[in-house]
Structure 1
Amino acid sequence: MQEKITGLARTVRDRRREPVVVQALRSTLAAVLSYVVALRLSSEPAPLTAPLTALLVVQVTLYSTLTTGIRRMNSVVAGVLIAIAFSALVGLSWWSLGLLILASLLVGHLVRVDEFVPEVAISAMLVLGVTRVADTAWDRILETLIGAAVGLLVNLLVAPPVWLGPAGDAITGLAERMSRLLVHMGEAPIAAGTGDVGQAAARLHEARRLDNDIAHVDAALRQAEDSLRLNPRVREGLLFRLVLRTGLDTLEICAVVLRVACRTLTDMAQARPADQHGPELPPGTHQALRSVLEHTAVAVVSFAQLISAQVSSNAEEAEERLSHELAVARASRDRFAVLLWAVVREHPAQWQLYGALLAEIDRVLDELGVEKRTQRLMEELDRHARARRTRRPGGRRRLRDRLPTPAGRKG
């Protein structure tokens, strides 16, 4: 019984640390505080605009709150002002509602609230539908300001969650799907006969579907990058962002190369005449290529685990596994190349497809290498350092230009 209670307490404690739970608690706190403050400052008996604005302002990350909170607040205030004008001039009818929506959308574009243009019309309709008294509408503006201020204050005082865990899980999930594709490619890579054309085409479609997975991972990574910016809980946010971003870039390159490799395998299957089995392959050729692809599949997963190692404790183990699998894959690749060379000498018409397949395998193995990853990360760090040095002298130069020039000294 004691073990069950301890396990339950540990589960609750772990759940409390999850970003989704933390974000829900922060949003609830901001909404309740804004409602309490609005009850004291507004004449409305139920100032629900304040908690509504607080919920809208408290974004997933502090960076997105600071960048979008002002635009969102502007959209709500603009909508309330438009509703005040309409309540003073016309009543609520079908044609006035249409004019209200049209004016709100146009004003939203004029005040440049970007993606929050529809919220201008929504705020205007809510205010005009609830009341047509201008004084009450001004209370709505006050409630909006209260909700926005409380939302920003909660984000500053209560540290927002860091979304490295979900981003790492998304990268690992992408790597696992790429790993399954590599295993499928090795099941019957260059089987004789025409029956494998459909299997090759299915692998090609599977490789093309990786584009949607990359888009999903990129969205999760952007959220993680925003959560690291201006976050007091993270000291090396730039390094974490670059590690994740360069890792995703590597997997994206590998996904493109795998799609091309699947196209090459499909062309191999389609190149054989219907009444022939194509060029005779030496014994062990299929097994050699299967070994290359299987060890590359394990290397892809190990690479993803190494990229997300800042949220886990198995970085060294993942790096050792990655180096081992790449070494075995390269050895299998060399054996596969020797076997293919015998086929090319007897059937030179196939050398383009075989050479392309070898080049694609080499590209994937090269991209996954530890040295390549370190080189790309160092290049990104140098680029950011140069950009930072470029910005700082410019700021000092602009400040120096604004200072008065002493008499007797030429500018």
Structure 2
Amino acid sequence: MKRLRAPRLPTFLRAPSRVPLLQVVKTSVATVLAWVVAVSLLPSELPIFAAIAALLVVQPSVNQSFGKAVERSVGVIAGVVIATLIGLFASNQAWVILLAIVVSIFFGWAFRLSPGSANQVPISAMLVLALGATTPGYAVDRILETLIGAALGVIINVLIVPPVALGPAERDVGLLTSELAASLERLATALTAPQSRQQLDGLMIQARLLRPMRDAAEASVRNGEESLTLNPRKSAHRTRLEYTHQLLARLSPMVTRVIGMTRALHDHYDDSLVEEPSIHSIAGELRRAAHDLRLLGPVSANRPADEPTPTAEIPVLTAPLTIARPHPEHWMLIGSLMEDLRRIHEEIVGD
């Protein structure tokens, strides 16, 4: 018998991954608490604005929650004020609601409000005119209600284990470090062994993949910095994040240099290159640079950020490298490799 499978949602309705369970719990707690507090303080109406505010304000980081709270509050206050002013000068008819919506949309455009605030202004104006046009004090209560929900959303996000996104940042920077080292080793191998055109093309493709890895690492570090902003736990993680950020700043130019070295080899390679007297010495320095680069690594539990960088054990280019006069067809390639290798050495040691 065939097993029946539950129907799956279309791809455009499905997120790439689930929101963390902790985020769901915090959102639920904030929404329930906002409802209860708003009912206690403003018992005249159902606290829909408070629940919506708390629901939207709980974000992956405290800084984002604070931003959403301000965004939501500004949108609600502007919408309520617009609805109140229009209600004073127009009768209670359906077209008044449409007028308030249109005015609110142009208000958000004129003041260049963020999408969250710009959308909230017409929604609030519409709800005030549709639900509270005949209720005294309705507009003021909805503003207070929103402020209660937004404040509780921020407070809950602060009190219940504020998330710290250091793991992805260290992981992606670590992957970039390892791949840069591997690219240097592949380049060293290509210099000392005959290469086919297909192998050189593959080497170039692998080097170009460093750019998206760098972009992913930069995005992860930005998320890590975002997660620590206004976070009460930031003092315990700031040093690790600063080291990861500084390491990425040193790796970023290396990506450009490694791609440039690979491009130079790809474009100027010929079979006689392996016979150059100094090419094996350059390959050896590339392998030592790869070794030193791996020693940098992101901060881990085994090596705190304040520990000196261990690259001083076997640093690259510590002794003069004698370059014999190369063949006229190879001098440009060898010169460019040596210059990029020198700059990689400076970036590894932090000069």
How far apart in 2 are the matches of 1:320 and 1:145?
49
1:102, CA displacement in angstroms? Answer: 4.7
- Cα deviations by residue, 1:321-365 (Å, 9 ceiling, x for unpaired): 6444x53x547x96xx54xx3461xx1342122011011122112
- 3-state SS in 1 of match to 2:293: helix
Deviation per CA, 1:128-164: give whole Å up to 9, x if none: 79x4442466654343222112123334544523322
Q: TM-score, normalised by structure 1?
A: 0.65
1:91 aligns with 2:94: yes
Contact kept, 8 Å, 2:31 with 2:51, in 1: the verdict is: yes
Report whether the alignment pairs 1:355 with 2:335.
Answer: yes
State the Cα distance separating 1:250 from its structure 2 match.
Answer: 0.5
| SS, match of residue 232 in structure 2 | coil
The residue number in structure 2 matching 1:149 is 151
The change in CA–CA distance for 1:250 and 1:160 in structure 2 (over 3 A counts) is same
Name the residue aligned to 1:258.
258
- Picking from 341, 352, 368, the partner of 2:348 is 368
- Structure 2 counterpart of 1:354, which letter? I
TM-score normalised by length of structure 2: 0.74
- Structure 1 residue 367: deviation in Å? 1.0
| Paired letter, 1:361 | L
Deviation string 1:153-191 (CA, Å, 9 cap, x unpaired) is: 334544523322332222212223323433443442465
Deviation at 1:289, TM superposition (A): 4.9
SS class of match (2:297): helix
Say how many residue pairs are matched. 326
Distance in 1, Cα, partners of 2:213 & 2:256: 12
**In 2 relative to 1, CA 138–200 (structure 1 residues): closer, same or farther, beyond 3 Å?**
farther
Q: CA RMSD in A?
A: 3.9
SS at match of 1:59: coil
Alignment of 1:276-291 (within 5 A): 277-279=271-273, 281-282=275-276, 285=279, 288-291=281-284
Aligned residue for 2:39? 39
Structure 1 residues 126 and 29: CA distance shift in structure 2, 3 A: farther
Query: How many angstroms does 1:66 deviate by?
Result: 3.4
Match of 2:292 among 260, 278, 299: 299
Query: How far 1:245 sits from its partner (Å)?
Result: 2.3
CA contact (8 A) 2:82 2:125 kept: no
Q: Percent identity?
A: 27
The Cα shift of 1:249 comes to 0.5
State whether structure 2 residue 271 is matched by structure 1 residue 314: no
Please list the CA deviations of residues 278-329 of structure 1 after superposition, one character each: whole Å capped at 9, or x if unmatched. 456147945x555444443343333123xx23xx23349x9676444x53x5
Please list every run of 5 or more consecutive structure 2 residues that lacks an aligned counterpart in the other structure: 1-18
Shift of 1:88: 5.8
Are the aligned partners of 2:177 and 2:251 in contact in 1 as well (CA < 8 Å)?
yes
Contact 1:79/1:119 (8 A) holds in 2: no
1:11-410 equivalences under 5 Å are: 20=20, 22-40=22-40, 41-45=42-46, 47-82=47-82, 85=86, 90-91=93-94, 102-111=102-111, 113-120=113-120, 123-124=123-124, 127=127, 131-134=130-133, 135=135, 140-158=142-160, 160-189=162-191, 192=194, 195-196=196-197, 198-235=198-235, 239-269=239-269, 272=270, 277-279=271-273, 281-282=275-276, 285=279, 288-305=281-298, 308-309=299-300, 312-315=301-304, 322-324=311-313, 326-327=314-315, 329-330=316-317, 338=322, 341-342=323-324, 344=326, 347-369=327-349, 372=350
